[in-house]
Amino acid sequence: MVNKQHFVITAIGKDRPGIVSAVAKVLYKNACNIEDSSMTILGGEFAVIMIVSVSRAKKLNQAALQTQFRKVEKRLALSIHAKELKRPPRKDPAGKAGRTPHMVSLLGTDKPGLVFRVAHLLARRKINITDVNTKLVGTAKNPVYAMLIEVELPERMQIVSLQRELIRLGKKLNADITIKPVDVFQL
């Protein structure tokens, strides 16, 4: 029997100091441990997503946790959601079964559909996306779209054929698309 329960916590609101502290305080008061998280500013909004665990002995439930976040939501004008996971979260796939994660990078002319076209190619090849970061860089007159996609390749995947397919797609999209193995850093 698993002796911990897990929750996914999401929060979003106008960026300002104190968001991480306020969310973490509620979790700390409930003896929750932050196991995995990503927090970033996106277009002036601060976005948080995290997996937290707590001992089943605490008997914490989703509704009680959501209620405790209400004061934080009002005080900082945030939207916070807590969702209990029915199964323990899957561990980070990086390095799983001897597989090396890979990074797909794109630099190109900004236009709608870049994320979709690359993600669609990867999905067709049964490649799991584990992380995505995008940014519009350059100047207002000359914007460049930058995208980094961390992927988990299926066993026995021929990287050379995938590279060729990404290069062909890049030509169609007026973008440079590359794929390289990632050094795995484990704490």
Contacts 24+ apart (CB under 8 A), 55-60: 55/3, 55/4, 55/31, 56/2, 56/3, 56/4, 56/5, 57/3, 58/30, 58/31, 60/5, 60/7, 60/30, 60/32
149 phi, psi to nearest 5 deg: -125, 115
Q: Are 82 and 9 in contact (CB under 8 A)?
A: yes
- Class for the domain spanning 4-85: alpha beta
Q: What is the dihedral of CA 135, 146, 89, 35, to 10 degrees?
A: -60
- Residue 141, pLDDT score: 87
- Residue 1, pLDDT score: 45
- Residue 57, pLDDT score: 85
Q: Which CATH superfamily is domain 96-181 in?
A: ACT domain (3.30.70.260)
Q: Where in the chain is the domain with CATH 3.30.70.260?
A: 4-85, 96-181
d(CA 105, CA 166): 10
Q: How many CB atoms lie within 10 A of CB 104?
A: 23
pLDDT tens digit at each of 187 positions of the chain: 468 999 999 999 999 999 999 999 999 999 999 999 999 999 999 999 999 999 988 889 999 999 999 999 999 999 999 999 988 777 655 445 556 799 999 999 999 999 999 999 999 999 999 999 999 988 888 889 999 999 999 988 889 999 999 999 999 999 999 999 987 665 4
- Residue 155, pLDDT score: 84
